[in-house]
Structures are given as structure tokens and as C-alpha cells.
């Protein structure tokens, strides 16, 4: 029986934080001047990640109050309940065990009397065996040719994790093997991704936890038709067994679709879609980077899990970062949170985090069905540096809203370019260091004047500073470090959800739109009675579509 959520706003720690926040006047110039050890005091090591929170709003007092709030809302007890397999996903009556996906072989986590770690390793072994066969060319298409392109078809958690990690781990890819991703039901996506592929050397992975998702099943049918239409004559339905595999918790539905159950990799209801990249959902990634690197990826998750499970609250990075997010959202009025990787390889990281954080914590009822008592769920967003600098950083530096930001960078360059004697990676890192420095310390009017700026322009050139950031660094972006980063944000999300009292593991909020999209089919296709049943706005939009669907001149098609 899951304990009732605690009203965070009713705790003594919350009241204390309200007072602290009212009186807090963040001033990084002063804070660093008064405490020369501030950088050391608020820098932490979590596995390979060096996390500097000294330019965040942490002070001794804020940290103590946030840890009190975590304790008074039972964050550590709920963490232990999650890790031990308790059914903390109440609305779906499920355990929440993405951490079991990276548990070491031979360990024990029991759900409904079964040790799930054994099941995890059984599937992992099969995924690794399959990945090895595809990589070596032993697995061939129906005409005997080795696979050159793997196409992952999935959406949400069955897409974002694999595609983000594939992009992030480019230096680890096997040269003669490409992976493509189809997610959107917009026919453009399948059309573009299938273009130029050779069906004889293409393998499709249909990844869907439920195997009922409209987008994925539609794209899977498109892919099957494309394959059968384009293979050499004489190859029939038996080609599907050589060119289609599936990843799902619903193996009966996989079989119904026509995919050989021997070519299916299972996972479990206790893995949420957005927490599934380290399950068989990562099969495309395991093929791309190979079993050894995939095992390293899992080891990275595990290292962060161990830190989260064991580090004292005062030094526990996911706990502190989650609690700081509570501080910014609930006490400092921040509505959004930027994640800014100084690594082009992480260009899909923010998109990945958007599902992880916002599908998890965008809720207004608590796990017992009562309304939340506080604001929940900030908007996560971001782009890689330095591109973001030339787009939206203006608003972070000089806008009127508080936007806490996480900056991520790696010490080692992947490409050792240098121009005019200048190491390009150092030029790049100069930007990474400069941005958090500028955000923290700003530039005063006197400093602007001292540069000879005309008085009328001085106000426009003043930087207020005192904008909170976290800096996360690691030696280089290895599979393990990527796993650590993902697990860090999984646990940050968990901490926030517990404080707010919400079930971070369901996603009922996406259901209504899905159901309506299905129900609208007849009206869109021309059923006048179904169209007449719609509200006036929907009716007029569908009418617009029907009037214009053939508007494009034939030569443009
Ligand atoms: O893996 P499935 O079942 O196809 O679901 C895809 C996505 O759809 C959702 O259920 C809702 O958008 C996500 O949580 C999930 O990752």
C-alpha cells in the first residue's frame, strides 16, 4: 500500500523556505567574496560527473532547508521504495524499476515473487546476440545480403532515447551500418527516411511498449508494404521474418502483426516508455554501438543509481538538483528550465529530456487523486551551445524572467581542429565557461561606463547577473557518461515528483487527444453527419482542409 502524499506546502520546511526565499538576495559577487571556498563547497562528484552548483542559489541555509523539505516529504523513503520494486506507480498499479534494467547480473529485485534482474539479463543476452549477428553480417536479409541500414520505428520513449543516444555516440558507431528513425505519423517522415534505402539490406525494428500506438503501427505497415513492394520478384511474406523485429511488452500483439515471436524482444510493464532506452528499446542503439559499448552505457546508469541510492542528501547530486528545481519553481517563480549542452553530439538531449521531465511531472492531481497543493512541472527546453547563444540567450541574460540553466561540457575534444594557432575546442569551452560567469556576475553600470560607453546606452548594456546555473563536466562523452547523464535527470525528475506528491510514472494527459484523433477519422474522410457533429471550430478547420487538399499544382507534387 503506497503511503499518502504529504502536502509539501504544509511542512515546516516549506514555511522556512518561504521566509528564506523572501529574504534571499542572490549576489554571486558577494557570495564568492565572502566565501573563497564556495566553488569547492558546492562542487560535487557523482560517478564521472563533476557538478558545480556554486553558481546556483545554494547557500548553507538554502541547502539545509531543501534537505529538510526532502526529508519531510519522504524523498529518501520513496526512493528506497522505488528501488526495491514497490508499486509506487499507483494509477497503473505498477512497480517502477528502470533501475533494474541496469542492475548487475546475479542481483535480486523481486516483483510479484519473481526476480526481475534474471529476466532483464535473459533479454539483454538475446539483444546482444542479435546485435552481434547484424553487425558481423551473419544476419542477412531475404536475398542473403548483410544489413546496411536499421530503421527504428517508434515514438515518444520508443524513439527519443535511441535517437538521442545514437546522435550522442556517433564516434562509437560501426562505419558500414546506419540507423534511421521514423516516429511521426506525418507521411513525410516515413517518406524521407525510406528514401534511398535498399530493401534487401534494410532491417526494421518496431519498438512500441504497448504495440497499439497509432503512429508506430501505421508506419510499421507502411514499411512492410514498402519492403514487399520493392524486394526482387519472387520474395513474399517470408521476407518479413528476415527484415522485421519487434520490441514490446505485448508479444501477443507483435505476433498478430505478423512478426515472428523469435524475432521479438520483450520488456515489462514496470518500465515506463520514457525510462526505456536501456531496455530492449535500445536494440537499435546496441546494434549501432555494439554490445560492449551498450554494456558500458548501462554501467553508467548504474553508477549514477548507486550515487543516488547511497550518497548523503547534502552531497547527493540528483537530490540537490531536484530540490533546487523545487526552489526555483515554487519559491522563485521560474516557469522554465534550460538545458544547454556544449556538445553538438547532444543536440537531441533537450528533446529527450522534455518527454522525461514534462510527461512525468506535468500533472495537477496527486497519486491519491487529490489536487496538487503547489505549482508543478516546469517547461524544459534547450539547444546546444553555442547555437543557443546566438538565439535565445539574450532573454536569459537580460529578460525579466528567471531561467535556471544547466550547462554541460566535456574536457576532451572529439575533433582536434586548430586554426591560427587556436585550439577550436578551447575556443568552444571558453564560451561554456564565459556564459555561466556572465550569468552569475553580470556587468555593472560603472563597468560599462568605464569602457567609454555613451551614457544613454549604458542601461541597455548592463547585465544584472545573479542568474542561477549548474555546470556539469566530464572527461569525455563516453557511453558510460551518457548513461550517467540520463540517470541523473531521471532521478532529478523523481525527486521533484515526490515533493509535489505526484505519480511521475503515468501519462494519462496524452490520452484525450489520441482518442479524439481516432474519432475524427470519419469526419475528415468526408462523412457529412460526423462532420456536422463537430464543434464549429473543428468543423471549419476540417472544411478548410477538404477545400484545399488538392490545391497544389500537379507539377509540384
Ligand atoms: O511505446 P509505445 O507504447 O508505442 O508508446 C509510445 C509513447 O506514447 C506514450 O504512451 C504517450 O505519449 C509515451 O509515454 C510513450 O513513450
Q: Which atom of ligand 1 is nearest to the CA of 281?
A: 1
| Banded model confidence at residue 2, pLDDT cuts 50, 70, 90 | confident
Indicate the top mutation candidate among 163, 209, 356, 514 to test ligand 1's pocket, ranked by most ligand atoms within 8 A of CB.
209
Which one from 30, 77, 129, 514 is the annotated catalytic residue? 514
Mean pLDDT of 158-171: 98
Tell how far the Cα of 215 is from the centroid of ligand 1, in angstroms.
Answer: 10
End-to-end CA distance of the chain: 59
Mean pLDDT of 180-190: 98
Q: Are 142 and 198 in contact, with CB atoms under 8 Å apart? A: no
Q: Is 307 a catalytic residue?
A: no
| Position with higher pLDDT, 358 vs 551 | 358
Q: Could you give the C-alpha distances from 477 to 153, 172, 217, 346, 433, in angstroms and in order?
A: 26, 10, 34, 9, 18
Strand partners, 244: 204
Q: Is 467 a catalytic residue?
A: no
Q: Is 274 touching ligand 1 by the criterion CB < 6 Å?
A: yes
Q: Which atom of ligand 1 is nearest to the CA of 158?
A: 1
Strand partners, 470: 406
Q: Are 223 and 183 in contact, with CB atoms under 8 Å apart? A: no
Q: What would the pLDDT profile of 279-310 be if each residue is shown by its tens digit? A: 999 999 999 999 999 999 999 999 999 999 99
Q: What percentage of the chain has pLDDT greater than the value 70?
A: 99
* Lookup result for grid cell 552569475: 440
Task: With a cut of 90, say whether residue 233 has pLDDT above it.
Answer: no
Percent helix, strand and coil across the chain, each to the nearest 5: 55, 15, 35
Return d(Cα 169, Cα 297) in angstroms, integer: 10
Q: Are 109 and 100 in contact, with CB atoms under 8 Å apart? A: yes
Tell how far the Cα of 31 is from the centroid of ligand 1, in angstroms.
Answer: 45
Q: Whose CA is nearest to atom 14 of ligand 1?
A: 273
Return d(Cα 516, Cα 217) in angstroms, integer: 18
Q: Is 161 touching ligand 1 by the criterion CB < 6 Å?
A: no
CATH 3.30.360.10 matches 104-293: no
Return d(Cα 404, Cα 325) in angstroms, integer: 8
Mean pLDDT of 305-326: 98
Q: What is the ipTM of this complex?
A: 0.98
Task: With a cut of 70, say whether residue 383 has pLDDT above it.
Answer: yes
Tell how far the Cα of 273 is from the centroid of ligand 1, in angstroms.
Answer: 6
Mean pLDDT of 43-64: 98
Q: What are the sequence ranges of the domains in the chain?
A: 13-22+41-72+311-502, 104-293, 520-548
Q: Is 390 a catalytic residue?
A: yes
Q: Are 223 and 182 in contact, with CB atoms under 8 Å apart? A: yes
Tell how far the Cα of 172 is from the centroid of ligand 1, in angstroms.
Answer: 28
- Of 147, 317, 157, 327, nearest to 244 by C-alpha is 147
Q: Which atom of ligand 1 is nearest to the CA of 216?
A: 4
Task: With a cut of 90, say whether residue 395 has pLDDT above it.
Answer: yes
pTM of the model: 0.97
Return d(Cα 281, Cα 216) in angstroms, integer: 13
Q: Which fold does the domain 13-22+41-72+311-502 belong to in CATH?
A: Rossmann fold (3.40.50)
Report residue 338: phi and psi, to 5°.
-95, 140
Tell how far the Cα of 155 is from the centroid of ligand 1, in angstroms.
Answer: 6
* Lookup result for grid cell 519473481: 114
C-alpha cell of 118? 534474471
Q: What would the pLDDT profile of 442-501 be if each residue is shown by its tens digit? A: 999 999 999 999 999 999 999 999 999 999 999 999 999 999 999 999 999 999 999 999
- State the alpha helices, DSSP H only, in 231-368: 239-243, 251-257, 283-289, 291-310, 317-326, 349-354, 360-361
| Banded model confidence at residue 555, pLDDT cuts 50, 70, 90 | low
In sequence order, what are the residues at sequence separation of 6 or more whose Cβ sits closer than 8 angstroms to the Cβ of residue 429?
342, 409, 411
The C-alpha angle 298, 302, 303, rounded to 5 degrees, equals 120
| Banded model confidence at residue 151, pLDDT cuts 50, 70, 90 | very high
Which one from 200, 215, 359, 490 is the annotated catalytic residue? 359
The CB-based long-range contact list for 159-162 (8 Å cut-off, 24+ gap) reads 159/183, 159/207, 160/274, 160/348, 160/351, 160/352, 160/355, 161/274, 161/276, 161/277, 161/278, 161/281, 161/282, 161/285, 161/352, 161/486, 162/207, 162/277, 162/281, 162/282, 162/284, 162/285
Q: Do domains 13-22+41-72+311-502 and 104-293 have the same CATH topology?
A: yes
Return d(Cα 454, Cα 459) in angstroms, integer: 10
Burial label for 422, CB within 10 Å (0-12, 13-18, 19+), is exposed
Q: pLDDT value at position 236?
A: 78
Q: pLDDT value at position 237?
A: 81
Amino acid at each position: 500500500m503506497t503511503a499518502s502524499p504529504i502536502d509539501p506546502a504544509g511542512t515546516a520546511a516549506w514555511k522556512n523556505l518561504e521566509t528564506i526565499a523572501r529574504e534571499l538576495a542572490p549576489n554571486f559577487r558577494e557570495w564568492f567574496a565572502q566565501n573563497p571556498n564556495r566553488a569547492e563547497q558546492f562542487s560535487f562528484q557523482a560517478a564521472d560527473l563533476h557538478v558545480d552548483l556554486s553558481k546556483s542559489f545554494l547557500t548553507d541555509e538554502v541547502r539545509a532547508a531543501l534537505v529538510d523539505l526532502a526529508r519531510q516529504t519522504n524523498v529518501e523513503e520513496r526512493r528506497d521504495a522505488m528501488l526495491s520494486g514497490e508499486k509506487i506507480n499507483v494509477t497503473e498499479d505498477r512497480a517502477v524499476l528502470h533501475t533494474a534494467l541496469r542492475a548487475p547480473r546475479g542481483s535480486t529485485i523481486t516483483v510479484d515473487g519473481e526476480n526481475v534482474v534474471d529476466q532483464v539479463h535473459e533479454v539483454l543476452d538475446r539483444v546482444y546476440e542479435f546485435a552481434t549477428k547484424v553487425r558481423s553480417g551473419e544476419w542477412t536479409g531475404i536475398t542473403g545480403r548483410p544489413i546496411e541500414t536499421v530503421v527504428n520505428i517508434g515514438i515518444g520513449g520508443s524513439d527519443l532515447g535511441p535517437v538521442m543516444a545514437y546522435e550522442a555516440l556517433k564516434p562509437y558507431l560501426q562505419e558500414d551500418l546506419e540507423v534511421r528513425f521514423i516516429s511521426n505519423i506525418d507521411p513525410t517522415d516515413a517518406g524521407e527516411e525510406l528514401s534511398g534505402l535498399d530493401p534487401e539490406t534494410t532491417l526494421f525494428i518496431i519498438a512500441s511498449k504497448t504495440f497499439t500506438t497509432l503512429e508506430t503501427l501505421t508506419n510499421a505497415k507502411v514499411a512492410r508494404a514498402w519492403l514487399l513492394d520493392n524486394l526482387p520478384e519472387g520474395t513474399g511474406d517470408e521476407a518479413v521474418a528476415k527484415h522485421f523485429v519487434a520490441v514490446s511488452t505485448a508479444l501477443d500483439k507483435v505476433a498478430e502483426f505478423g512478426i515472428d515471436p523469435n524475432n521479438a524482444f520483450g520488456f515489462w510493464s514496470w518500465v515506463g516508455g520514457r525510462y526505456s532506452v536501456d531496455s530492449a528499446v535500445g536494440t537499435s542503439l546496441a546494434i549501432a554501438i555494439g554490445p560492449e559499448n551498450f554494456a558500458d552505457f548501462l554501467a553508467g546508469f548504474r553508477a549514477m543509481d548507486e550515487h543516488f541510492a547511497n550518497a548523503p542528501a547534502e552531497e547527493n547530486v540528483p537530490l540537490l538538483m531536484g530540490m533546487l528545481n523545487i526552489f526555483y519553481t515554487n519559491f522563485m517563480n521560474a516557469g522554465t528550465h534550460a538545458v544547454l549542452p556544449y556538445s553538438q553530439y547532444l543536440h537531441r538531449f533537450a528533446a529527450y529530456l522534455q518527454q522525461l521531465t514534462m510527461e512525468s511531472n506535468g500533472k495537477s492531481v496527486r497519486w491519491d487523486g487529490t489536487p496538487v497543493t503547489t505549482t508543478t512541472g516546469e517547461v524544459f527546453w534547450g539547444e546546444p551551445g553555442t547555437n543557443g547563444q546566438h538565439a535565445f540567450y539574450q532573454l536569459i541574460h537580460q529578460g525579466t524572467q528567471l531561467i535556471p540553466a544547466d550547462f554541460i561540457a566535456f574536457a576532451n575534444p572529439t575533433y582536434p581542429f586548430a586554426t591560427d594557432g587556436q585550439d577550436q575546442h578551447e575556443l568552444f569551452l571558453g564560451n561554456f565557461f564565459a556564459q555561466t560567469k556572465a550569468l552569475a556576475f553580470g556587468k555593472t553600470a560603472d563597468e560599462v561606463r568605464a569602457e567609454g560607453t555613451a551614457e544613454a546606452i549604458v542601461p541597455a548594456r548592463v547585465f544584472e547577473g545573479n542568474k542561477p546555473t549548474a555546470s556539469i563536466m566530464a572527461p569525455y562523452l563516453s557511453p558510460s557518461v551518457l548513461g550517467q547523464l540520463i540517470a541523473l535527470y531521471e532521478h532529478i525528475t523523481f525527486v521533484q515528483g515526490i515533493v509535489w506528491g505526484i505519480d511521475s510514472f503515468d501519462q494519462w494527459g496524452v490520452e484525450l487527444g489520441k482518442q479524439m484523433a481516432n474519432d475524427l477519422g470519419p469526419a475528415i474522410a468526408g462523412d457529412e453527419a460526423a462532420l456536422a457533429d463537430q464543434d464549429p471550430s473543428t468543423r471549419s478547420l476540417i472544411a478548410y482542409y477538404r477545400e484545399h487538399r488538392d490545391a497544389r499544382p500537379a507539377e509540384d507534387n
